Copies of this chain bind each other. A is one copy, B any other.
């Protein structure tokens, strides 16, 4: 039983987890694939740095080409992150017939089609389960579990940092800035949190999920993205009072052949399964025409959960190696991508308006909704004790985005509206 040799690019948190699982679970892995799996070489930035796992220093290298060009190495596991340099390494590894397992959502969201094409040309596998939702096996679920179905909706809580922040804001009534600071101290948020809190990380993951779910190559720029930095504790309290929670949701929808993908803070009815996903946990809700509602829940990040997905991919690559069927993944993006226009994107909306507290205001406002044919599910007007203003809360029925944009534009020119305080999509 010739051992399968792995070159590991990166030995940070996730890389360390990969070493731990491959070494700690070696017996189980061998029982499944029939040969030892050996981590042969590891790319690090600094060979002499102290590591918190025992690893033979002779395996460490600072030169990526010592791994990529090593004819002995069968599989590259890429957990170094980054895009352009990393892409070069991966393309070169593929051109040399090495299979690739990656956790790199940025790379797959931006260059997935090119990488998968190059893999096919070289009869290599590229697997990337760990790139979305850490330990949740959502990618194989979309490719294999639902191969028979037609998915119409994917909603994901795919960023743990923002879900942690929103959960804390909800449970403790704290402000965004307070909780962000705490999350940074706990290591749940980066010093520069932009990629997480502005929804960019979630957008990359939704690019990958929607490409798989809808079987068409969705590009990152197709995703309209709004983060959580504008979510106030007031909004969260209004949501709670009405039976909703605020979540940063990635929402990918398909109707007929037209799709839309967004990331935005969303008010979710608290009876919806995804509403109770709290803290750093992730979940992906998938609706299929035949299967109906499903949801997949688990840790979205972390050393061992993410490494679980990477090593599961490694097992799949090695099984294919044994059978001689690498690079035979059926194309998953065989459909032409057709994006919805704003007229085709429909959802319910929540609006919080600050208005003049005088007669006839509500009539003027409802008239605007009527003009653009946006019908209303509920309207609540109440005085604002601290101001000479009243507050009006509106929840619409399904309204198309183009019409809502016109309503909001019209509101700007309406004297009685002092401020459109908040606008949220509503789900569930």
**A residues near B, CB below 8 A?**
17, 21, 25, 28-29, 31-34, 129, 135-137, 140-141, 144-150, 215, 273, 276, 281, 288-299, 302, 304-305, 307-312, 314-316, 319, 323, 325, 328, 330-331, 334-335
Contacts and interface: CB of A to CB of B under 8 A. Distances in A.
Contact of A312 (B34, B144, B307, B323): B144
A1 to B, nearest CB: 14
A33 B330 contact: yes
A209 B307 CA distance: 23
Contacts of A17: 290
B137 A146 contact: yes
Given A144-B144, A149-B312, A296-B296, 14 more contacts: A25-B148, A135-B291, A136-B294, A137-B144, A137-B145, A140-B145, A144-B312, A146-B312, A148-B308, A148-B309, A273-B297, A281-B293, A290-B305, A294-B297
Given A297-B273, A298-B295, A312-B146, A215 B28 contact: yes
18 contacts: A17-B290, A21-B148, A25-B150, A28-B150, A32-B330, A34-B330, A135-B292, A146-B308, A149-B311, A290-B307, A291-B305, A292-B298, A292-B305, A293-B297, A295-B297, A295-B298, A297-B297, A323-B328
Nearest to A144: B140
A289 B305 CA distance: 9
Contacts of A29: 147-148
Q: How many copies does the complex hold?
A: 2
A290 B334 contact: no
Given A297-B297, A298-B292, A299-B293, A312 B135 contact: no
B293 A298 contact: yes
Contact of A319 (B215, B305, B330): B330
A307 B291 CA distance: 8
A72 to B, nearest CB: 23
B291 A149 contact: no
Nearest to A137: B145
Contacts of A146: 137, 308, 312
Chain B CB count within 10 A is highest, among A148, A297, A310, for A148
A33 to B, nearest CB: 7
